[in-house]
Amino acid sequence: MAKSRVRGIIYAAQLAILLAISAQIIIPLPLIPFTAQTLAVGVLATISDFSLSNWAIGGYLLLGLVGLPVFAGGTAGVGVIFGPTGGFLWGFFLQAWIIAKARQMKFKQNLIIGNLLGALAQLIIGAIWLKLVSQLSWPAAMSAGILPFLIPGIIKGVLAALIGQLLLARLHSPLQMR
């Protein structure tokens, strides 16, 4: 039992590092750049149980909170987590939960639907947070926090599901925290 718990902690640490690395992969677009971070969240939530996903995401946020430059563009600190874009980070938890629920349904297309809905939920949480912290109007928050990321989110959601399916086939079952 202790061995499996240690294995879970190692998995969580590895997945947190995957998130940190993916946050540094920035694809510049004309208006707003985006990172591979949400793709990584989709993949990790697809291949791991919800508990492990939570530990990995929580560990990642903790690394950034204590000042390690793990967030997009090498940023870190309280200002990022609780600043205008912090909601997009907190939204990773809901994204992972939705994907975990979809994976439990056992149909391959549910992973795609789960990843798409999870990505959308993460954007909605981020936009709500952006509105509240920045005192933006609802239309401005939705325009800034959701619309530019819809098409990239669809692409990354489908990719995350497909990559996750390939990895799950090799793993034979989702990674677990226990």
Q: Which residue has the higher pLDDT, 173 or 12?
A: 12
User: pLDDT digits over 71-99, tens only?
Assistant: 999 999 999 999 999 999 999 999 999 99
| Cα distance between the two ends of the chain | 8
- State the virtual CA torsion across 47, 51, 97, 64 in degrees, nearest 10: -90
- CA–CA gap between residue 18 and residue 177 (Å, rounded): 16
Q: Is residue 31 predicted with pLDDT exceeding 70?
A: no
Give me the count of residues in the chain: 178
How many alpha carbons lie under 13 Å from residue 142 in its C-beta half-sphere? 3
Q: What integer best gives the mean pLDDT of the chain?
A: 92
In this structure, how many other beta carbons lie within 10 angstroms of the beta carbon of residue 77?
A: 15
Q: Whole-model pTM?
A: 0.93
| pLDDT at residue 60 in the model | 98
Minimum mean pLDDT among 36-50, 67-81, 99-113, 146-160: which range? 99-113
Domains with residue ranges and CATH for the chain: 2-171 (1.10.1760.20)
- Mean pLDDT over residues 41-61, rounded? 96
Does residue 1 surpass a pLDDT of 80?
A: no
Q: Do 33 and 54 touch, CB atoms closer than 8 A?
A: no
Band of residue 4 on the pLDDT scale cut at 50, 70, 90: confident
CA–CA distance, 125 with 93 (Å, rounded to integer): 10
* pLDDT tens-digit series, residues 119-176: 999 999 999 999 999 999 999 999 999 999 999 999 999 999 999 999 988 987 888 8
Burial of 10 (0-12, 13-18, 19+ CB in 10 A): exposed
Q: How far apart are CA 20 and CA 72, in angstroms?
A: 8
77 secondary structure, DSSP code: S
If pLDDT is split at 50, 70 and 90, which confidence band does 25 have?
very high
Give strand ranges (E) for the chain: 26-27, 34-35
DSSP class of residue 36 equals S
